[in-house]
Amino acid sequence: MKGSVTKVGYANKEKYTLKTTIPSEVRDYLELTGGDQILWELDKVNGKWIAVIKKV
Residue 3 has φ and ψ, to the nearest 5°, of -70, 150
The four Cα atoms 39, 45, 48, 51 give a dihedral, to 10 degrees, of -10
pLDDT tens for each residue of 24-37? 999 999 999 999 99
Length of the chain: 56
Q: Indicate yes or no: pTM above 0.75.
A: no
CA angle 17, 36, 33 (to 5 degrees): 110
pLDDT at residue 1 above 80? no
H or E stretch covering 28: helix 24-30
pLDDT of residue 4: 86
